[in-house]
Amino acid sequence: MELSEDLTTDPKALSSGNVSKLFRHLGNFDWNHVTPVEYKSEEQSWLSVSRRVFTGETGETPQFHVRYFEIGQNGYSTLEQHEHEHVVVVMRGKGQAIMGEKRVELGFGDVLYVAPNEVHQFSNSQEEPFGFLCVVNAERDRPRPVEIGEGSSCF
């Protein structure tokens, strides 16, 4: 059997079909067939966060979605909670997470499980981007922003 560069040559199947897909890493935390988009449409609750979706929004039918988030220097995600759980695997740089009443440092290879209804937020105070894979339930509730006043980010 001959080696292939990719699993499909049909761009339409990649964006709307339940077909096997290969997302080849192109360097600098970019992948073929994946376009970075804004983290969320609301802009007041986060800063300097991009999202890349591998599975879950283009015709696949898994019980989970796999996304890659990247937070730029001095950026942060929304301080939020939700009923669904998720797992974060750090792939680039260093960052911090608020988990309930605690703040933890995260670095390459660390794995963080976020339990249902845990208040959480991710941030990056470093020059290098903080990037992580996030595996989440396919069927999930909408996150609820949490407001705890000034100092609600990880900085």
Burial of 148 from C-beta contacts in 10 A (0-12 / 13-18 / 19+): exposed
Q: Which of 49, 88, 134, 154 is catalytic?
A: 134
Catalytic residue flag (residue 154):
no
CB 45 within 8 A of CB 79: yes
Q: Which active-site residues does the annotation give?
A: 134
